[in-house]
Amino acid sequence: MNLKQLSHMLALSQTTVSRALNGYPEVNEETRRRVIDAAKRHGYRPNPSARRLATGKTGMIGYVLPTGTTVDIDPHFVEFLSGLGDYARSHELDLVLSPADADDQETTYRRIVANRQVDAVYISSPRPVDRRVALVSTLGIPFIVHGRSDGLDFDYPFTDIDNEGAFHEAARLLVQLGHRRLALINGDDRETFAIHRERGVRRALAASGLVLGEGHVCSLAMTEENGYRAARRLLEQSDAPTAIACSSLIMALGVVRAVRDLGLTIPGDLSLIAHDDVFPWLKPENFSVPLSTTRSSIRLAGARVAERLAARIAGLEEGARGEVWPVDLVVRGSVAGAPG
Query: Nearest approach, Cβ of 334 to a copy of itself (angstroms)?
Result: 14
Comparison of 37 and 150: residue with beta carbon closer to DNA:
37
Contacted entry of a copy of itself, DNA, none for residue 236, CB cut-off 5 to 8 Å set by kind: none
**CB under 5 to 8 A by kind: which of a copy of itself, DNA, none does 15 bind?**
DNA
DSSP for 65-96 reads EEE-TT----THHHHHHHHHHHHHHHTT-EEE
192-206 vs 163-176: helix crossing angle, rounded to 10: 30
208 contacts DNA (rule: CB under 7 A): no
Which is it for the CA torsion 315, 317, 321, 326, positive or negative? negative
Q: 264 exposed, middle or buried (CB, 10 Å; 0-12, 13-18, 19+)?
A: middle
Alpha-carbon distance of 106 to 238, in angstroms, equals: 45
**Where are the extended beta strands (E) located within 187-247?**
217-219, 243-246
99 part of the interface to a copy of itself, by CB under 8 A: yes
For DNA, the binding residues in 140-199 under the rule CB under 7 A are: none
Contact code string over 8-47 relative to DNA, x by CB under 7 A = ---xxxxxx-xx-xx---xxx--x------------xxxx
14, 75, 135, 215: residue in contact with a copy of itself (rule CB under 8 A): 75
Question: From a copy of itself, DNA, none, which one binds at residue 111 (CB under 5 to 8 Å depending on kind)?
Answer: a copy of itself
- Which CB, 12 or 161, lies closer to DNA? 12
Position 304: which residue type?
Answer: R
Check binding of 82 to DNA (CB under 7 A).
no
Number of residues assigned to the chain = 340
Q: Judged by CB under 8 A, does residue 88 bind a copy of itself?
A: yes
Q: Are the C-beta atoms of residues 302 and 84 closer than 8 Å to each other?
A: yes
Q: Is 100 in the site for a copy of itself (CB under 8 A)?
A: yes
If contact means CB under 5 to 8 A according to the sort of partner, which of DNA, a copy of itself, none does residue 16 touch? DNA
